[in-house]
Amino acid sequence: MQPGIALRTNRDDAPYDLEVRFDKREQTIDGWGGCFNELGWVALQSVSPDAREEVLRNLFEPGRGLNFTICRMPIGASDYATNWYSLDDTPGDFELKHFNLDRDRAILLPYIKAAMKYQPAAENVGSPWSPPRG
Structural domain that includes position 113: 30-128
In a domain, 18, yes or no: no
- Let me know if residue 22 belongs to a domain: no
Look at residue 117 in the predicted model and tell me its pLDDT: 96
Inside any domain, residue 66: yes
Whether the per-residue pLDDT at 62 is higher than 90: the answer is yes
What mean pLDDT is reported for the chain? 87
Q: Please report whether residue 120 resides in a domain.
A: yes
Does 25 reside within a domain? no
Q: pTM (2 decimals)?
A: 0.76
Give me the number of domains the chain comprises. Answer: 1
Question: Could you tell me the end-to-end alpha-carbon distance of the chain, in angstroms, rounded to an integer?
Answer: 58
Report the C-alpha gap between 122 and 60 in whole angstroms.
9
Is pLDDT of 1 > 60? no
Of residues 17 and 121, more confidence is placed in 121
Does the pLDDT at position 12 exceed 90? no
Q: Which of 52, 68, 77 has the alpha carbon at shortest distance from 129?
A: 77
Round to whole Å and give the CA distance between 103 and 19: 46
**Which residues have C-beta within 8 Å of that of residue 16, sequence separation ≥ 6?**
9
Rg of the chain on CA atoms, in Å: 20
Among the listed ranges 3-17, 31-45, 66-80, 88-102, which one has the minimum average pLDDT value? 3-17
Residue 100 lies in a domain: yes
Is residue 81, in this structure, part of any structural domain at all?
yes
* 86/129 Cα distance (integer angstroms): 8
Q: Is 37 part of any domain?
A: yes
